[in-house]
Structure 1
Amino acid sequence: MSKYFGTDGFRGEANKALNVEHAYKIGRFLGAYYGREHKCSVVIGKDTRRSGYMFECALTAGLTASGADAYLMHVTTTPSVSYITRTDDFDCGIMISASHNPYYDNGIKLLNGDGEKMEQYVIDEIERYLDGKGAEIPFATGSDIGKAVDYAAGRNRYIGYLISLATHSYKGMRIGLDCANGSTWMMAKSIFETLGAETVVIGNQPNGLNINNDCGSTHIEGLRRLVTENKLDVGFAFDGDADRCIAVDETGRVIDGDLILYIYGKYMKDREKLANNTVVTTVMSNFGLYRAFDRAGINYEKTDVGDKYVYECMRKNGHLLGGEQSGHIIFSK
């Protein structure tokens, strides 16, 4: 069991459980570890928490002091950092976020060069360094010192990628969005409206202190009211870093992660695109989901709670769809 890193990164109250020195040392280690044989490049994103700027600066200082270049996507989503890490050939990616937690918490999520959660053996080495047990890392000097690069273009490219996935226009649809005062506060509206939808948006006025505060996927009642009072066709609520999504139908009925998994599973099976005819769930999924899968002739596997374990099962066994009741939905190619 890791001392600092859980299934979703190093998380805790900012400058208490997770402080700026931790962030600096993580940057120092990653810059040296991935820069052993070449100039290391790392992409960094963050959500809207006030402490995110502090951690971004500390990570950047650590990386550049070890000779790595830090590419800053600024406020963006965790999936976007994963995508850009993979497609733009970064050595690793970092997302600064505590997901659905309140503003005073923050976290550091680490991704490998494939945009997946960083390997445990690397995490173990980071923890040794944080505890002062690793070898001393020399400072880069002269032209070897790294640079910080504005990389908002990466976020914009990810937005374009999401738009390209749509198979039809959303013209005529009226969609409610709850952005949790987090990472999607500008992104979600622009994506849906580019596809032709009319949007009504809440949770899109972040001030650094109100992320997930009575809004977003963990406070779905606000979106339910928005959809029913405005007679919208559907609504989507994200968490602070947008790696979770919960939906609401036109009647205000909540469509949680289990129901979303069923909808996607049935859709993919009907089109013969559900590899191994299997969906990966966690032990927290509702029994009703399994009864529905049985009726549809869809197999399933159960893992421990955590999207990390869901993805590990998917990758090991070649499954293409998995997720959690909380709204983590994972597609694999």
Structure 2
Amino acid sequence: MQSSLKFGTSGLRGLADELDGAPAYRYVRAFIEVMRARGCFDHTDKVFIGRDLRGSSAGIRALSAAAIEDAGYVAVDCGTLPTPALTHYASMQGAPAVMVTGSHIPDDRNGLKFFRPDGEIDKADEAAISFAYAELSSDLPIRRSGMGQTDVSAIERYRARYLDFLGGKTLRGLTVGIYQHSSVARDILVEVLQELGAEVLPLGRSDRFIPVDTEALRDEDVELLRQWAVENKLDAIVSTDGDADRPLIADEKGRFIRGDLVGAITADWLKADCIVTPVTANSALETCGRFEKVVRTKVGSPFVIAGMEDARVAGAARVVGFEANGGVLLGSSVQRDGNTLAPLATRDAFLPVLACLDSIGAQAKPLSYIASQFGFRAAKSDRLMQVAPEASAAFLTQLQDRNSGIAVAFSSLGDCSHSDATDGVKIFITSGEVVHYRASGNAPELRCYVEAHDDDRAAELLSRGLAFALENVR
């Protein structure tokens, strides 16, 4: 049987019951071998481990610790914490890290995110890990009971990162709802916002794992945000996905703010001179007049990180990267009111949450008004679930061929002026609208993104775009 485990846009993902066992152990051993070859243990013998709150994560963490110990190194357990908190702390120690998380995908799936001492692994590292994994003997003995050392400092250092940067009661006067669900950041988010002076209302805490996807919110999440905004006088509602590297932010009316707009607000708040973002982000980024340079990439934080490095080499002083899911990566040190925020080359939910909330107070305007000033076109996204990768690939290949039956049939949605195959197929319609299809890197899904002149038309275009895809992928 073909394994579901594979590297996607951020880390290794697959079915939890396939990962929980020899595959998890062997992938971590392979990661250690690659880090050893890269010289990452020249100054440390430690590897830091964290996990999210899904049911299978504790067992996979124990396997990961055993693999690290059996490779001759010290496994340091940082507990349940946000992915960016783990990465921040490990980088301070000059050590690699492993995060056990499936992020936003359903509870029957899980994954491993691997980090070098300087941040996320890149595509070359992924290929090397896959090769090292294949080279390991399938008979390699495994242990499931790695213990490791315990270190709870990571979460405290992450908290200090933002409290020291913002300083004081900068959020005084704001009332903020926090959708806690099963986010690993649900408690620290409350604590940090309270420390910064906000009045906080915890909402929707759950004992079961909830797959909150900030690129495709469930209908029940949309309704919850609206209800909470109606019932409470809130300035905003904030949350994260499962491992807190993607934010969920809604305005004072409970309306979800798309991640690329959240990223733009954050980059503007940081006074970025260059932003790096995937092709899925809104086309208004080039026309809003806020940024000197906009660099487009494929979807996935490794591509954004590579783009940020290229921008720094080219001379950009303040580089901010973000994805359409809202995860923000800070590529340069930033000074604000005499305080310095160090770079963090992994997606982070806290930075955009704090940027949006601080902007409300600084501008004395509601978040809906602040968001409207960027001139973003109405945009929506959703996905078809349980679409085999092979079916998605065939659909996308035919869509690129102007002479194929699928491409000709697409004219029912609008006349194509040109297309972009940077990642999937992004079709620009002569009316100025956009329909973009791409296969998910994390699950058997085909995603659809649209841009239109207003919400009603975007909703119609998305519905028709999904229906068109459904007719042609199965």
**1:283 aligns to 2:286 (yes or no):** no
Displacement after TM superposition at 1:288 (Å): 3.0
Paired residue type of 1:175 = V
CA distance in 1, matches of 2:124, 2:323: 25
Q: Kindly state the Cα deviation for residue 227 of structure 1 after the two structures are TM-superposed.
A: 2.8
125 and 198 in structure 1: CA distance in 2 versus 1, 3 angstrom threshold: same
Q: How big is the shift at 1:121?
A: 3.8
**2-structure distance, mates of 1:285, 1:20:** 37
In 2, Cα distance between the equivalents of 1:48 and 1:88?
25
Matched, 1:156 2:190: no
Tell me the distance in 1 between the aligned counterparts of 2:231 and 2:214.
Answer: 17
> Identity over aligned residues, as a percent?
26
- TM-score calculated relative to the size of structure 1: 0.84
Q: What is the alpha-carbon distance in structure 1 between the residues aligned to residue 307 and residue 6 of structure 2?
A: 24
- Identify if the C-alpha distance between structure 1 residues 126 and 288 changes in structure 2 by more than 3 Å, giving closer, same or farther: closer
Most deviating of 117-126 and 31-40: 31-40
Alpha-carbon separation, structure 2, partners of 1:136 and 1:82: 32
Match of 1:22 in 2: 23
In 1: Cα distance, 2:181 partner to 2:280 partner? 24
CA deviation profile, 1:199-253 (whole Å, cap 9, x unmatched):
1122433x3x423269998345123432332111112121001111131121223
Who is 1:143 aligned against? none
Deviation, 1:172, is: 2.3
* Closer, same or farther: CA 32–290 of 1 in aligned 2, 3 Å: closer
Superposition CA RMSD, Å: 2.8
Following the alignment from structure 1 to structure 2, what is the Cα–Cα distance between the partners of residues 79 and 132? 31
Q: How many residues align?
A: 312
Question: Could you tell me which residue of structure 2 aligns to residue 173 of structure 1?
Answer: 174
What's 2:262 paired with? 260
> Quick one: which amino acid aligns to residue 17 of structure 2?
N
| Alignment partner of 1:70 out of 48, 68, 75 | 75
SS in 2 for 1:74: strand
- Native 8 Å contact 1:66 1:138 kept in 2: no
One-letter identity of the residue aligned with 2:100: I
Higher alpha-carbon deviation: 225-234 or 97-106:
225-234
Partner of 1:299: 293
User: Which of the numbers 81, 85, 88 marks the counterpart of 2:90?
Assistant: 85
Instruction: Specify the alignment match of 1:103 in structure 2.
Output: 107
Task: Give 3-state SS (helix, strand or coil) of 2:17's partner.
Answer: coil
- 1:142 is aligned to none
Structure 1 runs not aligned, ≥5 long = 140-145
Q: Which residue of 1 aligns with 2:330?
A: 331
Equivalent residue for 1:123, pick from 100, 123, 126: 126
Contact 1:216 1:240 in 2 (8 A): no
TM-score, length of structure 2 as denominator length: 0.60
Aligned to 1:187: 188
| Counterpart residue number, 2:302 | 308
User: Structure 1: which amino acid aligns with 2:68?
Assistant: L
Secondary structure of 1:23's aligned partner: helix
CA contact (8 A) 1:14 1:106 kept: yes
Q: What SS does the aligned partner of 1:237 have?
A: strand
| Contact 1:172–1:196 under 8 Å retained in 2 | yes
C-alpha distance in 2 between matches for 1:107 and 1:184: 18
Aligned equivalents of 1:321, 1:135: Cα separation in 2: 42
Residues 45-60 of structure 1: pairs in structure 2 closer than 5 A: 45-60=50-65
- Counterpart CA distance in 1 for 2:139 and 2:175 is 57
Superposition deviation, residue 125 in structure 1: 3.1
Q: Which moved more, 1:24-33 or 1:6-15?
A: 24-33
CA contact (8 A) 2:235 2:252 kept: yes
Larger radius of gyration: 2
Report how far residue 268 of structure 1 moved: 3.8
Amino acid at match of 1:158: Y
Shift of 1:12: 0.9
Counterpart Cα distance in 1 of 2:163 and 2:228? 24
